[in-house]
Chain A
C-alpha cells in the first residue's frame, strides 16, 4: 500500500517541481491575494474631494464659514493618516452643484450667509459610492461641532438612497464580461488548438483573417451577453433605475467596448500559452488583480497609492466607473468621456495586439 502511495506522491511531486512557472504561480497567488485583498478592501479612505460654499447674499466670509473650512481641512479619522477631506471653496452654490454633478467633488456643504447666521447648514452628497457618504456625514458633523456652532445640519443624498447591492451590481456587470472571456473564451481557444481544430482550418480555403474575425467576433458577442444579462439582473433584481434611453444606449456602448477589448486581450494571451494549466493560472492572477483594483468592491479612494497606479492602467476600473456614472448617477458623455477614451485606447490596443499575436500562431 505504501509503495503505491509513495509512487503516486513522487509522480505528483516530480511534475510539480519540473515546471518552475507553475511553481512560482502557485506561490504567487496566495501572496497576491494577501497584498491585493488586504490593501484594496477596508483601507482607510482619505482625501475625499468636497466643496464648500456660502449662501447668497454674500457680504464677506462668516466666522462660521472660515472656522468650518479650517476644521474640515484638518479633520482626521485617525491621527497618523492624511486628512479625510480635500476641500475646495466655491463662490457660488450653482458652481458647487455643477461640480458635484460632474463628479469633481463627492459632496458640497452650504453655509448660511452672514445675514442669517442661524440657518441650517446643508450637505449635498453623492450617494453612489460605498461607505463614502457615511464618512462624509460623520466628518462634516464632527467638524461643525468642533467650531462650536449650534446650526443644524441637513444632509441630502442627491442620487437617492443607493444600496450596496446596486453599487456592487454595476461592478459585477464588468466582472461578468472579464470572467466569461478570460476563463471561458481563452480556455476554449487553447483547447481548440490542442485538439488540432485550428490546424484543421489551415487545410481548408478559409482565410486567416476570417479565422481571426470569427474568433474575436464570437468572443465579443458572448462577453457582451454575459454583461448584458447581469445588467438586466441589476435592473430587475437589484433595482437600479435607467433614467433615459440615452443612458441605456451608453451602457450598451460601454459593454461593447469592454467586451471587444477584453476578448482581443484574451485571444492574445491564449495565443502565448501552450497549455491550459499555465494559461489558467496566469489568468486567475490577472482577473483577480484587475477586479480587485477596479473599484467594483470598494472605493478606489481607500487604496494605497501603489495600488491606485494599477487602477490607472486597469481597463476594468474605467468600465466600472463609466457604468456607475451612467447607471447610478445618470451622468452623460460630458462626465464619462475620459473613461470612454481610456476604454477606446485599451480596446484598440488590445485588438491590434490580439490580431498580431493570434496571427503569429496561425502562420
Chain B
C-alpha cells in the first residue's frame, strides 16, 4: 500500500446538510485520487463544496456516504491516525494572537507530538523558512496578515506531515504577501510533501498546482493538469488586431483559414479565436498587408483557467482579483 502512487483516494463521497428549508448537497458523489508529492488544486466558486470536502478529509466532518483514504488510513475509521499524518492550515486563522510566534509553534508542536528534544530546533528552522526569525518573540497580534499566514502554514508543517491541507492560503493578502506565500508553498513541496490547496484564485492554481480539480455545486467537473485543461478549450487562443479603416471582404478571407474558429469585428478591433494562434498570426498580418489595412495594435493571449472554468460550468468564479482580467471566452457557452 505504501508504494501506492495515490496518497489520497476518494471514493464516491457525498455530504448532505439538512437545514430548516430542506437539504443541501454540499458534496455530490465525488471520486478522485491525489498523487504522492504533488501540489493538487481544488478550485471552485464559494459554496462549491471545497471546504466541506477538506473538512471530511481532515476528519472534522463525516461524509453521508463514500470512503476516503489518506495513505493507508480511512478517514472515518482511523481518524486519530489520519490526524497524525496531516497538517492543516484552515481558511480562518487559528493562531493565538496573544501568544508570540515562537509560543504558537511550541504549543502546536506539543499538540502534534513533536519530540521535545527536537522541537526548539525545528521551530527555529520553520521561523527561518517563514522569514520570521527576527519576529519570533513578537506577539502574533503585531504581525502583518502575510506574516501570520506564513507562520500558520509552517505551523501546519511542524510535524512533517505526509499531506498538507491549505484552505485558501492567500485570501485577503496583498500581491506582495501572496507572492511570498506562493514561494513558501513551492519550497515546502520540494520536501516531498503532498499539498492540497483550495483556492478560487486562478493565477494561484495555475502557478502552483501540478493538477487541478474543478468543483461546482458539489460535483467534480474536471480534473487535469492546467495545460491539459486549457487544451480542452475548443476556443484556442485569442488574437486581437486593431485598425483604423477596415475592408469587410477581408473577413471572409480570414474565416476561410482552417485554424480560425471564429471572427468578430468590433469598433476598431478584430477578434479572432484560433487554434495555435501564434503560428497563425504572421499569416494574418500578411493578409492585412495584402488588403492595405494598417494594423494599429496586436495582442495574443492563451485562454486563462478562468476561461476554462467558464467554458466548463458556464459561470464565473466570484471574487476575482485584479491580477486576472475577467474576460469573455472566445468559445461556446
Contact = CB atoms under 8 A, between A and B. Distances in A.
B113 A196 contact: no
Interface in B45-67: 58-60
**5 closest A-B pairs by CB:** A200-B94, A203-B88, A204-B111, A196-B94, A206-B111
A204 B86 CA distance: 8
A200 B167 CA distance: 13
A207 B97 CA distance: 23
Contacts of B58: 203
Contacts of B111: 201, 204-206
A197 interface: yes
Given A203-B86, A206-B112, 10 more contacts: A195-B97, A196-B90, A197-B94, A197-B96, A200-B90, A200-B94, A203-B59, A203-B83, A205-B80, A205-B83
A207 B110 CA distance: 12
Contacts of A196: 90, 92-94
A246 interface: no
Interface residues of B, number: 18
B113 A205 contact: yes
B60 A204 contact: no
Nearest to B155: A200
B108 A204 contact: yes
Nearest to B85: A205
A61 interface: no
A202 B58 CA distance: 9
Contact of B94 (A199, A205, A206, A207): A199
Q: Is the interface of B mostly helix, strand, loop or mixed?
A: loop
Contacts of A207: 80
B80 A195 contact: no
Given A204-B111, A205-B80, A205-B83, A195 B59 contact: no
Interface in B97-124: 97, 108, 111-113
B84 interface: yes
A203 B60 contact: yes
Interface in A143-162: none
B79 to A, nearest CB: 9
Contacts of A199: 60, 90, 94
A162 to B, nearest CB: 42
Interface in A182-235: 195-197, 199-207
B96 A202 contact: no
Interface residues of A, number: 12
Interface in B207-225: none
Given A196-B90, A196-B92, A196-B94, A202 B80 contact: no
Given A202-B59, A204-B108, A195 B94 contact: yes
A45 B88 CA distance: 63
Nearest to A198: B94
B94 A204 contact: no
A136 B97 CA distance: 58
Nearest to A194: B92
A6 B111 CA distance: 50
Interface in B24-71: 58-60
Nearest to A203: B88
Nearest to A196: B94
A169 B176 CA distance: 58
A204 B114 CA distance: 11
Interface in A88-129: none
Most chain A CB within 10 A, of B86, B93, B94, is at: B94
A195 B96 CA distance: 8
Contacts of A200: 88, 90, 94
A233 B60 CA distance: 47
Contacts of B94: 195-197, 199-200
A207 to B, nearest CB: 8
Most chain B CB within 10 A, of A202, A204, A207, is at: A204
